[in-house]
Structure 1
Amino acid sequence: MNTLAAAALGLVIGAVLGALGGGGAILTVPALVYLLGETAQEATTSSLVIVGVTAIAGMAGHARSSRVRWGTGAVFGGVGVLAAFAGSIANRHVEQHVLLLGFAALMIAAAVGMLIQSRRGEEPALDDPVDTAPVTGTDLRRPGAAGLVKVVVAGVAVGFLTGFLGVGGGFLIVPALVLAIGMPMPAAVGTSLLVIAVNSAASLVARTGSSHYDWAVITPFTLAAIIASLAGKRAADRLPPTATTRGFAALILVVAAFIAVHTLAG
């Protein structure tokens, strides 16, 4: 039964991933906890596998369009590797209610960021479903000291969040790449998937020997998410991006409120 439920949830979240980019992954942990009965620690571990594999699948498409900057992504991800290890270690030593309240806070921050961005009339931060043209030439300006600091801080923050909460952190990666080093949005989106994959892998390595993997849930969830993300991306071309982003932000706020109330009441 859990296998079928996992596949169904994977389809839903995969469709969101395709329509809005990596931001949809933020719903993975709540789905695993409240709909599939995993503990917070188990859910964050499962989410790392689901998010990491889905990021690799998405990155392949971007790579074919030359929208992945391998060197930049490796450096950004490398900065966060130690932080991902630290986050994974911290994950093992906190109570479930602390993890869930932290996750609710993260969801609220992500939703607020999406709403602010939608008011500026920009595309969803974590994906660019319209622009499929390859990015050619150099994509970096010379970052000053402030730009380098932003990249390092963002890399460390993303790494820790990936390890601690099992999220990809694309809502931090893309703005950092665009604002700090002048990378075009299509390349930033593709490169962010590389960073997510690196941090997810590092976090999983840090959990080796201390985590339980429910493959009957993880496998169908991941496969369904990858398949549905393709359909979701096509559907996104027909939807107004601003309205879609605001609707998703509202959904995140509702889920965050549910998590907070349920955790505090429990």
Structure 2
Amino acid sequence: MTEPFLISAALGALVGVILALTGAGGGIVAVPLLVFGLKLDVATAGPIGLAAVGIAAALGALLALREGRVRYKAATLMAGAGAIVSPLGLWLARRVPNAPLMLLFALVLLYVAARMLLQHRAHRQPNRPDRNPGAACRIDEVRGKLAWTLPCARALTLSGAIAGLLSGLLGVGGGFVIVPALRRISDIPMEGIVATSLAVIALVSMSGVVASSVSGHMAWAAALPFTGGAVAGMLSGRLVARRLSGAHIQRGFAVFAGVIAIAMMVKASALI
């Protein structure tokens, strides 16, 4: 009894650290770690991952909000769209067999890993602009806030809905959708993007957790230590995040995610 508890807490701590460092990666590695570490199927691991990532992300978002880095109106719009669509993902996850769902998860994770490696190389290019000059959502230089337009609202809503669907279907926070989406559609600085992503992850994840709890699909015996570990990992990760190179973090996470994706593909192939 003690060993699964400790394993769950340790895996949660790893997820919390990754979430603190990347603002995007913790959610997408939570489910694979639960699948391999606790031998759970994807549909069971998903709600547990959502609970841990949601609470850890909420903690990080609150701390960032105190520092004035969260674009809370954009986060609320994206999270609202995600919360509406998330139950559909949960419904689908309960009706797709474990092996195809695991294979889908592996392909998504492999895509995320490959994209992060490509972004790492792009960041090393000289004269690369830090801000997006053609963004649909732009910060008003006078007020220091987003200038709301129809294209901006539409882009944020669509991104939030996609994140919500994947959140319910695969048990991920959706940060791997939210962060690149905000980079593409806005000129928000990267630290603000990470903080806003955490806020969206927290809100969308909590809607999925509530839906799972109401339907009786939440394995609390594994979720509680996993969530506690994730919160501890988030606090610890924040202490070291600013001392580490963002490029090295991105490259290291991409390699880590790629290895997990390949392992999940092998496991899924064995189940088919």
What TM-score, normalized by structure 2, do the two folds share? 0.85
Note if contact 1:52-1:200 (Cα within 8 Å) is conserved in structure 2: yes
Find the partner of 1:138 among 144, 154, 160. 144
Note if contact 1:7-1:221 (Cα within 8 Å) is conserved in structure 2: yes
Aligned partners of 1:205 and 1:14: how far apart in 2?
A: 21
Per the TM alignment, residue 209 of structure 1 is displaced from its structure 2 partner at its CA by 3.7
Note if contact 2:175-2:201 (Cα within 8 Å) is conserved in structure 1: yes
Note if contact 1:143-1:180 (Cα within 8 Å) is conserved in structure 2: no
Find the partner of 1:102 among 90, 101, 104. 104
Aligned partners of 2:197 and 2:22: how far apart in 1?
A: 14
Partner deviation per Cα, 1:190-219 (whole Å, 9 max, x = no partner): 221221122112223333443333323212
Note if contact 2:23-2:195 (Cα within 8 Å) is conserved in structure 1: no
Aligned counterparts, 1:29-44, within 5 A = 29-44=31-46
Quote the sequence identity (%): 36
Note if contact 2:31-2:49 (Cα within 8 Å) is conserved in structure 1: yes
Note if contact 1:17-1:229 (Cα within 8 Å) is conserved in structure 2: yes
Find the partner of 2:227 among 215, 222, 228. 222
The letter of the residue matching 1:238 is: R
- Residues 1:119 and 2:121 aligned together: yes
The letter of the residue matching 2:11 is: L
Aligned partners of 2:185 and 2:179: how far apart in 1?
A: 10
Note if contact 2:83-2:164 (Cα within 8 Å) is conserved in structure 1: yes
1:161 aligns with: 166
Aligned counterparts, 1:165-176, within 5 A = 165-176=170-181
**What SS does the corresponding residue of 1:231 show, helix, strand or coil?**
helix
1:128 aligns with: none
Per the TM alignment, residue 144 of structure 1 is displaced from its structure 2 partner at its CA by 6.0
1:192 aligns with: 197
Unmatched 5+ stretches in structure 1:
123-135
Aligned counterparts, 1:12-31, within 5 A = 12-31=14-33
Note if contact 2:74-2:156 (Cα within 8 Å) is conserved in structure 1: no
1:69 aligns with: 71
Note if contact 2:77-2:156 (Cα within 8 Å) is conserved in structure 1: no
- Residues 1:81 and 2:83 aligned together: yes
1:257 aligns with: 262
Unmatched 5+ stretches in structure 2:
125-141
Aligned partners of 1:119 and 1:8: how far apart in 2?
A: 32
Aligned partners of 2:179 and 2:209: how far apart in 1?
A: 23
The letter of the residue matching 1:150 is: A
The letter of the residue matching 1:97 is: A
Note if contact 2:166-2:174 (Cα within 8 Å) is conserved in structure 1: yes
Note if contact 1:2-1:216 (Cα within 8 Å) is conserved in structure 2: no
Aligned partners of 1:186 and 1:15: how far apart in 2?
A: 17
1:6 aligns with: 8
Change (3 A) 1:65 1:140: same
Per the TM alignment, residue 39 of structure 1 is displaced from its structure 2 partner at its CA by 2.0
Aligned partners of 1:208 and 1:223: how far apart in 2?
A: 18
What TM-score, normalized by structure 1, do the two folds share? 0.86
The letter of the residue matching 2:197 is: S
